[in-house]
């Protein structure tokens, strides 16, 4: 199973953001045993920025990005992905880009806390909690 992970799930775990930390952290532990977790290359810069803004120093933020790169598949973003995202009916460009790239990857799910933002995505979205409820028994 292949899943594309929205930035909010990663930041929940890296900053221990409540009340979302528990389900997001438990979901992240399924990457490897149950699912191939993927991020867009463009998300790494967003995550780095958000970690710095949350008070992490640059070295700590880089270490987190390295751990993500070691444990998740980092996907490229092409000109065609950007064009398709701009033409998508979705309101948020970053969400549209994630949805378009998930479709090109043939991902099974997008994992996000904002499922409604992906209502127009061809790849279904699940929250970390719903993913665990549906597939966590497989661990």
Chain segment 6-35, per-residue pLDDT in tens = 999 999 998 898 999 999 999 999 888 889
In this prediction, residue 119 has a pLDDT band, given cuts at 50, 70 and 90, of very high
**CB atoms inside a 10 Å sphere around CB 36:** 15
Question: What's the pTM?
Answer: 0.92
Tens digits of residue pLDDT in 62-86:
999 999 999 999 999 999 999 999 9
pLDDT for residue 138:
59
For the domain 2-138, what is the CATH code? 3.40.50.1010
Question: Is the pLDDT assigned to residue 131 strictly greater than 60?
Answer: yes
Q: How far apart are CA 139 and CA 134, in angstroms?
A: 11
Q: Give, to the nearest 10 degrees, the angle between helix 128-135 and helix 21-30.
A: 50
Domain boundary assignment for the chain: 2-138
């Amino acid at each position: 199973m292949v899943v594309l992970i929205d930035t909010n799930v990663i930041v929940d775990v890296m900053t221990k953001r409540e009340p979302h930390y528990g389900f997001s952290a438990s979901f992240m532990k399924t990457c490897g045993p149950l699912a191939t977790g993927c991020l867009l290359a463009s998300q790494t810069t967003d995550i780095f920025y958000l970690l710095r803004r949350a008070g992490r120093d640059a070295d700590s933020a880089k270490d987190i990005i390295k751990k993500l790169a070691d444990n998740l598949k980092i996907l490229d973003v092409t000109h065609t992905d950007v064009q398709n995202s701009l033409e998508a009916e979705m309101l948020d460009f970053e969400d549209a880009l994630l949805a378009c790239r998930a479709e090109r990857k043939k991902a099974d799910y997008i994992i996000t806390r904002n499922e409604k933002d992906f209502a127009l995505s061809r790849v279904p979205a699940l929250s970390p909690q719903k993913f665990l409820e549906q597939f966590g028994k497989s661990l």
